[in-house]
Structure 1
Amino acid sequence: MPCQSLALATMTMLSWPVMSAPVAVIGCNPYLHPTRFIQISNGGATSVESCTASWDLHEVEFYDRNGNKLVVTAHSITETTEPHVASNVVDGDKSTYWAGNDEHGLSCSCWNSSKINKQAIQFVLPETYISRIEVYQGNNARSMGHFRVHCAGAGGNYRTDDVLEVHGSLDQTTLTFSDAGCFVTGSTAVAASSCGTESGGDGDAGDAGDADGGNGGNGDGGNTPDQANQADGTSLVDGAAPPAVRVWSAVVALLLTLG
């Protein structure tokens, strides 16, 4: 089911944000299928100047079709920097965060497309239908403007052809799911970055894992296999990342509205 990306754009000549035109992308929709596992990984780079940098993810919340917040667990599929472990992302405290290994080098200054999926975290949910995901970051240089969402059912099979490419906010990003698809909105505008929109390459991440961490790692620390795998042993990353979602300018829409 197509997903509509509603990226927030801010015009320099105006003092209020303007919604850009929606862009259809293909991605998983956990509203339509019972979901047990969700994996979130990096799709681009951070803006840290130093090459030795990782992504800091502060909090992720999941809500079912009735609007109830779900109790979930989190496991780091890739390496973690202590004490910033994966469980910090689901502890209800937005001041704590999960950090990857700085040696991943997710800085824009040394970005290349082989680093897609270099940092990944898996969430284990009670198997249900999801209506909303809230992603909170620190709105700083270690935040990620482009991340990827992978969905799997009880069997833990992550499909390579329905990864949801999210271009959201460096602060709070809301993913809303329904029968019509999914919509992405952000609390702040995101500036396009050429280093964070390259496609292609094989990203390194961990195995899909199971409810107790599985091959995805021993709790928070995890292992670091060379490539992400599905439960059936096939590659999670098929060798090329889907095209980045293009954010359309709000200028034309505003002029049409005023005219």
Structure 2
Amino acid sequence: MLRVLLATCVLPSGGDGPLVTSTSSTAPPAVNGTCNLARGYRYISIGAAGGISSSSCSASWDLHEVEAFTSNGRRLTMSASSITGWDSGYPPSKAVDGDTTTFWAGDHDVGMSCSCWDDSKKDGQMLTLDLGSKQEVTQLNLYQGGSGNDWAVKRVRLHCHDALPFSSSLDEPLEIDVSAGVTFIVCSGQGCTTALSPAYYDTCKGVGAKLAGGLAAVLAVLALL
């Protein structure tokens, strides 16, 4: 069984990748599922598992960058693809181009706003990483747009598989809370742990109240006309 921990994580010795910093939170992020990247797979698919705070139901999830490292700290070269529609200016390659200011835009055809989110939309926007061959990934870093970003999800699902299409996933997906900034996922033979910077924030919290308040204001204006 995977252990659920919020740990102070450090990239394994001998590597040249970034150090993982500790974060503070009132509770550890939930880590559920049996997909363990350290066991060695060719493909890793990352699916949205929570809404974004943008008020538009047609808005998209933006994933800025994904980094993958092996146990010796070597950063892997990856290609990326997506089966969902995406804007030609924000293709899947933008999530693995080494630049955290660019991003992949998930799919404007799948409503991602917290105001219209439901669990049937899990994995409706998904990025698939191709590692080129089976690789034991001991650290995966996910970059979103940062605190207050309207297009950051609060939760994702990681799928481990060795063949395409995605339906050939070998294990139960690893479902985790993620930061609006960067999420460090560190895996070993015992399971995976996460560290979030900044700490977890529910991007959907208060969205309903804000929408209701905005609607009330519109109705009040209309009443005066």
TM-score normalised to structure 2 length: 0.75
Provide the residue aligned with 1:188 in structure 2. Answer: 198
> CA offset at residue 177 of structure 1?
0.4
1:183 alignment partner AA: T
Structure 2 unaligned blocks of 5 or more: 9-22, 206-225
2:92 alignment partner AA: A
Q: Is the 8 A contact 1:175 1:183 kept in 2?
A: yes
Q: List per-residue Cα deviations over 1:98-135 (Å, max 9, x = no partner).
A: 00222311000111222111101111003121110000
SS of match in other structure, 1:48? coil
> CA offset at residue 25 of structure 1?
2.8
Q: Partners in 2 of 1:95 and 1:170 — Cα distance?
A: 14
Q: Is the 8 A contact 1:61 1:134 kept in 2?
A: yes
Q: Partners in 2 of 1:149 and 1:39 — Cα distance?
A: 6
**CA spacing shift, 1:105–1:7, aligned 2, 3 Å:** farther
> CA offset at residue 50 of structure 1?
1.6
**CA spacing shift, 1:194–1:18, aligned 2, 3 Å:** closer
- RMSD over equivalenced CA pairs, Å: 2.3
2:32 alignment partner AA: V
> CA offset at residue 151 of structure 1?
0.5
TM-score normalised to structure 1 length: 0.66
Q: Partners in 2 of 1:137 and 1:122 — Cα distance?
A: 16
2:2 alignment partner AA: P
Q: Is the 8 A contact 1:3 1:26 kept in 2?
A: no
Provide the residue aligned with 1:174 in structure 2. Answer: 184
Matches within 5 A, 1:90-129: 90-125=96-131, 126-129=133-136
Q: Partners in 1 of 2:164 and 2:191 — Cα distance?
A: 23
Residue identity over aligned pairs, in percent, reads 35
SS of match in other structure, 2:150? coil
4+ runs deviating over 2 angstroms = 3-8, 16-27, 153-157, 189-195
Q: Is the 8 A contact 1:29 1:181 kept in 2?
A: yes
Q: List per-residue Cα deviations over 1:130-182 (Å, max 9, x = no partner).
A: 110000010201001101100013577303x5200010201000000012210
Match of 2:83 among 67, 77, 86: 77
Matches within 5 A, 1:1-259: 1-6=1-6, 17-18=24-25, 20-21=27-28, 25-31=32-38, 33-125=39-131, 126-139=133-146, 140-153=149-162, 157-159=168-170, 161-192=171-202
